Structure 1
Amino acid sequence: MFISNVRPWAGAASDVLLEGDRIAGISAHDPSRAPQPSDVDGRGRVLIPSFSDVHVHLDSTRIGLPFREHTGGPGVWTMMMNDRQNWRDAEIGLPERVAGTLERMIARGTTRVRTFAQVDVDCRLEKYEAVVAAKEKFAAEAEVQIMVFPQAGIFREPGTEQYLEDALRAGADVMGGIDPCQLDRDPARHLDTVFALAEKYQVEVDVHLHEMGTMGVFSTELIAERTRALGMQGRVNISHAFGLGGVDDATTRRLIDLFAELDISWTTVAPSVTDHLPIADMTRAGVRIGLGEDGQRDYWSPYGNCDLLDRTWQLAFVNGFRQDELIGHALAIATVGGASIMSHGVPRLSSLADRPGVAVGDRADLVLVDGETIASTVMDRGTDRTVIHDGRVVADGLKVLSVGDSY
């Protein structure tokens, strides 16, 4: 495949050759070249790596359904119970909702996804199986990792641990944990169980951490202890962690060094809080950072629209990024940053100025989007998009191409 007249990371107009699932060549744009039927016309658009949404709850989505009154209350348990009381009564079935949401994400440029699948005594494996079905349906359009997730905790309801293990035995990619102190109120036992299951099934760990201040720091230290003791460096992610940067400067520095030492990655959803760990300092220390949309217009929240470029804008906004370099870094986190969490074959971002993913030899997972500069691309969030996964056009004009369609 030949992509003509495109600007990698908003640079000079170029022609890009794809062979198989890799970028095989990049040269200055040649306007005299006769177009071929298989060519993609870049039309001067910006070329970036495709998006990596590494924190999304496909299993709770209401994307595509009518807006409803928000009935959730404060706190994880109250919100979870609200979801439990409503998710079966949606206008269409869960498998259709999950697949439709994933399709919409792909259409907007996300081809790498780490999604949660809630497992508990209420839904058992029903939500997990709906996510598996969507993953299989769009296997040619996106790479999807499924994290088995104890949203209701592990020990508050007897039987949960067995369902978690059933999902791992069925092929889940990542073992999840959540708020070891606040939810299960037994942090050592909670994390021992999470890590033991991950070790048994040789999967990675991803812990939801909503705990604030010194409690969040304590849970992080327990996660780090187990990471070190089990030799799981590079295989543990902490999601949210939006309260870890609000204790004091010395604690913040110590946590950054701990993340870097043990190669614990961090996934943010760009929350409207200011106590999270500083992105620039984390990057300089070599910590892998990814971005996700979290819930998608579900029973927890009306936010989320399947467009990670919108969430990139939010990441820049809530962090007060105004310089072009920092806005570009937000986009790098949303693309290659998340990819480096999903695959150790993808190098982590080396600096605030690092703009990888569109060089010869890189995987041909790409998005063409209208924009003048990278900053304007994030600010304007254009809709003229063409999405390429493994060297094949999978979506154009915000629509996923059907099997057999030609670009």
Structure 2
Amino acid sequence: MSMWIRRCRPWGGDLSDVRLDGEVVAEISSAREAAAGPDDVDGRARLLLPAFADVHVHLDSTRLGLPFRPHTGGPGVWAMMLNDREHWRGAEVGITERVAQTLGMMVARGTTRVRSFAQVDVDAGLERLVAVLAARETHRDRAEVQVIAFPQAGLLLEEGSAQVLEDALRAGADVVGGIDPCSLDRDPVRHLDIVFGLAERYGVPVDVHLHEPGDLGRFSAGLILERTVALGMHGHVVVSHGYGLWDGTETQTRSLVERFAEADVATTTVAPGGRQNLPLELLVEHGVRVGLGEDGQRDYWSPYGNADMLDRTWQLAFTHGFRRDELVEHCLAVASRGGASIMDRGLRRLTGTDDRPGLLVGDRADLLLVGGETPTAAVMDRLPDRTVLHRGRVVAEGLELL
């Protein structure tokens, strides 16, 4: 099926007409007066951007759409996990319904690629995983979703944890997760043996949460990098968060970035405040894949998150102190094609802060029309006038699913 997006501005450029042929961008030409076909979309001079890819979200813990509740979590990953464990089953709405609702909200706001964690442990079993898999099925025509089996409680602290993680892969999880192999499980070799062993056995990628500080975090990252290279898993491993990796000397940071690039190990951030930021410019200079995500969304871990990746893009720019349009637009590129290149290794990595991919002839038509004078203005204003396309089909209009 062929259709046109009329009178739009790709990446804020000249007024253009964009023809879609099935799932791909087939033609980009100067805007002209022409009779609209029945399936054509009126761009109304809005910006045309690649749709967002949220590559670090915990759909299984969402409380979006439910009454606001005071934050009750304690300090540290283990205390927060126990607090979540105590409360998640008692939410006002069942987990299957609220996960599907949140994923729908994300799509309606412009996210068509999603990489979601699903906590699997001896308490939850596969219940939370099943809810995320069900949401993926509900929205299968609106978004592409990869599901990560995530051992939030570690793999060695509770008997049976490793078996539940393997059960999750057999049940349909796409990625095997890990978490803080030193500070949580206190046995990085055994922890990574389990994670990478399952990755080999089931032929799936790896995504490790790394909250560990400073030299400890760099030690764990080094072990992950070594295993990635030894197993030939280039392009199939992600280090999520990595808060403490980049607070060393300039030499340490540059050396670690180079190692990430050589192993094609990606990293994802949720743009946290008050912590060491990613060296975004250095990472893109070396071709490291970087993606953005919303993490938990108004859940038992944090009151932040609203299903809007345009809002999180603003946060990424703000927490890095970016003011130049080039760098704010780079945040848009990270939030869209940067994350997409993590989900699809066939997509090329960003090549620089001025790289604006995703709207070229031959690209898959996952697109977002949004109001704004310029891409930077769109990030600052975050207007609701949005049209979302997934694989060449309009799936949401004005923050509502179609």
The alignment of Structure 1 onto Structure 2 pairs a total of residues equal to 400
Task: Tell me which residue corresponds to 1:348.
Answer: 349
Instruction: Please give the alpha-carbon distance, in whole angstroms, between the structure 2 residues aligned to 1:325 and 1:23.
Output: 25
Task: Tell me which residue corresponds to 1:50.
Answer: 51
Task: Tell me which residue corresponds to 1:27.
Answer: 29
Task: Tell me which residue corresponds to 2:131.
Answer: 130
Per-residue CA deviation, residues 306-352 of structure 1 (Å, 9 max, x unaligned), is 00000000000000111110000000000000000000121111111
Instruction: Please give the alpha-carbon distance, in whole angstroms, between the structure 1 residues aligned to 2:335 and 2:351.
Output: 15
| 2:345 partner letter | H
Displacement of 1:124:
0.2
| 1:303 partner letter | Y
Per-residue CA deviation, residues 351-379 of structure 1 (Å, 9 max, x unaligned), is 11000101111000000000111110111
| 1:16 partner letter | V
Task: Tell me which residue corresponds to 1:6.
Answer: 8
- Let me know the Cα RMSD of the aligned residues: 0.7
Instruction: Please give the alpha-carbon distance, in whole angstroms, between the structure 1 residues aligned to 2:16 and 2:149.
Output: 42
Instruction: Please give the alpha-carbon distance, in whole angstroms, between the structure 2 residues aligned to 1:316 and 1:202.
Output: 36
Q: Conserved in 2, the CA contact under 8 Å of 1:243 and 1:276?
A: no
Instruction: Please give the alpha-carbon distance, in whole angstroms, between the structure 2 residues aligned to 1:217 and 1:273.
Output: 20
Per-residue CA deviation, residues 183-221 of structure 1 (Å, 9 max, x unaligned), is 101111101110000110000000000001000000000
Instruction: Please give the alpha-carbon distance, in whole angstroms, between the structure 1 residues aligned to 2:362 and 2:383.
Output: 27
Task: Tell me which residue corresponds to 2:183.
Answer: 182
Task: Tell me which residue corresponds to 1:261.
Answer: 262
Q: Conserved in 2, the CA contact under 8 Å of 1:244 and 1:276?
A: no
Task: Tell me which residue corresponds to 1:309.
Answer: 310
Instruction: Please give the alpha-carbon distance, in whole angstroms, between the structure 2 residues aligned to 1:238 and 1:66.
Output: 33
Q: Conserved in 1, the CA contact under 8 Å of 2:50 and 2:358?
A: yes
Instruction: Please give the alpha-carbon distance, in whole angstroms, between the structure 1 residues aligned to 2:91 and 2:241.
Output: 28
Displacement of 1:274:
4.5
Matches within 5 A, 1:354-393: 354-393=355-394
TM-score by length of 1: 0.97
Per-residue CA deviation, residues 13-34 of structure 1 (Å, 9 max, x unaligned), is 000111110011111000x211
Instruction: Please give the alpha-carbon distance, in whole angstroms, between the structure 2 residues aligned to 1:258 and 1:276.
Output: 18
Displacement of 1:275:
2.3
Task: Tell me which residue corresponds to 1:405.
Answer: none
Alignment partner of 1:117: what SS? strand
Q: Conserved in 2, the CA contact under 8 Å of 1:252 and 1:277?
A: no
Instruction: Please give the alpha-carbon distance, in whole angstroms, between the structure 2 residues aligned to 1:246 and 1:171.
Output: 37
Instruction: Please give the alpha-carbon distance, in whole angstroms, between the structure 2 residues aligned to 1:96 and 1:250.
Output: 48
TM-score by length of 2: 0.99
| 1:55 partner letter | H
Gapped regions of structure 2 (runs ≥ 5): none
Task: Tell me which residue corresponds to 2:103.
Answer: 102
Matches within 5 A, 1:126-275: 126-275=127-276
Instruction: Please give the alpha-carbon distance, in whole angstroms, between the structure 2 residues aligned to 1:129 and 1:274.
Output: 33
Q: Conserved in 1, the CA contact under 8 Å of 2:54 and 2:114?
A: yes
Instruction: Please give the alpha-carbon distance, in whole angstroms, between the structure 2 residues aligned to 1:216 and 1:181.
Output: 8
Instruction: Please give the alpha-carbon distance, in whole angstroms, between the structure 2 residues aligned to 1:38 and 1:220.
Output: 49
Instruction: Please give the alpha-carbon distance, in whole angstroms, between the structure 2 residues aligned to 1:365 and 1:300.
Output: 31
Instruction: Please give the alpha-carbon distance, in whole angstroms, between the structure 2 residues aligned to 1:273 and 1:244.
Output: 15
Task: Tell me which residue corresponds to 1:404.
Answer: none
Displacement of 1:277:
3.4
Q: Conserved in 1, the CA contact under 8 Å of 2:271 and 2:277?
A: no
Per-residue CA deviation, residues 65-100 of structure 1 (Å, 9 max, x unaligned), is 010011001100000000000000000100001000
Instruction: Please give the alpha-carbon distance, in whole angstroms, between the structure 2 residues aligned to 1:115 and 1:177.
Output: 14
Instruction: Please give the alpha-carbon distance, in whole angstroms, between the structure 2 residues aligned to 1:276 and 1:153.
Output: 25
| 2:57 partner letter | V
Given the alignment of the two structures, is residue 322 of structure 1 paired with residue 323 of structure 2, yes or no? Answer: yes
Instruction: Please give the alpha-carbon distance, in whole angstroms, between the structure 2 residues aligned to 1:129 and 1:152.
Output: 18
